[in-house]
Amino acid sequence: MISKSEIKLIRSLQQKKFRKETGLFIAEGDKTARELADSDIHIEKIFARSEWRARNIHIASKEVSEKEMGQISALSTPSEVLVLARIPEQTPHWGNEKVVLMLDSIRDPGNLVTIARIADWYGLSRIFCSEDCADFYAPKTVQSTMGSIAHVRAIYGNPIEMIRQINLPVYAAMLEGAVDIHSLTKAEPCVLLIGNEGRGISPELQKIASKRIFIPGYGKAESLNAAIATGIILDNLTRLHKI
């Protein structure tokens, strides 16, 4: 059983306004639910069909009927489990990562999710996002992270202030950068700054860059997709730390 007020709350979380107001988000699907339950994301409640509960008796959950799941799900085909969880604390600080990933105005949710999966691959547990980035905690976006929502936190804020608090050198990825990423030799912790899909990094953020780095290209393409650039640069930076 699920109460009317719970249904109302969960449905409201499809809107950013209410996610912001309550600090909560929803995640659906078997794999995502199990990974979230296993993560350090704070879970408020898990609503699940009886079959899922039987398979996951070690995870505390509340039984709901098919009809109730249909009422709370944000998906056109409701899954068998829905997690009500708390959006991680939005405070920037340097958590000892080798690379701190900061996104300036990545507007496309698909790009944001791909970048989160790349961060997850390279063992980064957080991505810092300007307020105008796509919302990582929107139900459909959460859904498409394929579990990375449980490993990677998105922290939103003003990039300039976040960079000041993190206090590491800033490597800005720029098409007209001055430093070829293949020429980097020093393994220093840094902020990797990735800009908007069309406009790149905003002029005011460019000003605080310690290094303007670029990916060497040999063809006629004008640019690489922001997520591709993130993957290639993170590969280069982590390679430095490994050697």
Residue 219's φ and ψ, nearest 5 degrees, are: -115, -150
State which of residues 19, 34, 126, 151 lies at the interface with its own copies (CB under 8 A): 151
Q: Give the interface segment with its own copies, choosing from 51-59, 141-149, 165-173, 189-197 (CB under 8 A).
A: 141-149
Token look-up 């899922």 returns 52
Q: CB-wise, 41 or 64, nearer to its own copies? A: 41
Candidate residues 8, 140, 182, 207; the one interacting with its own copies per rule CB under 8 A: 182
95 lines the binding site for its own copies (CB under 8 A): no
- By CB under 8 A, residue 175 contacts its own copies: no
- Is position 61 an interface residue for its own copies (rule: CB under 8 A)? no
Residue from 32, 79, 148, 196 in contact with its own copies (CB under 8 A) = 148
For residue 225, state whether it binds its own copies (rule: CB under 8 A).
Answer: yes
Q: How far is the CB of 2 from its own copies (least distance, A)?
A: 31
Segment interacting with its own copies, rule: CB under 8 A, options 62-70, 81-89, 189-197, 211-219: 211-219
What does the block give as tokens for 78? 């409701």
Distance CA 3, CA 107 (A): 36
State the nearest-atom distance from the C-beta of 114 to its own copies, in Å: 6
Which residues, including other chains, have CB under 8 Å from residue 213's CB and lie 6 or more apart? 171, 172, 173, 174, 177, 178, 179, 180, 181, 184, 233
Query: Which distant-in-sequence residues (6+ apart) come within 8 Å of 21 by Cβ?
Result: none
Please pick, from the candidates 26, 33, 119, 201, the single residue that binds its own copies as defined by CB under 8 A. 119
Q: Determine contact, residues 84/45, Cβ cutoff 8 Å.
A: yes
| Total Cβ atoms within 10 A of residue 184 | 18
- Does 18 bind its own copies (CB under 8 A)? Our answer is no
Q: How far apart are the first and last CA of the chain?
A: 55
Q: CA torsion angle for 159, 165, 169, 174 (degrees, to 10)? A: 0
164 binds its own copies (CB under 8 A): no
Residues making contact with its own copies (CB under 8 A): 114, 117-124, 146-148, 151, 182, 215-222, 224-225, 227-229, 231-232, 235-236, 238-239, 242
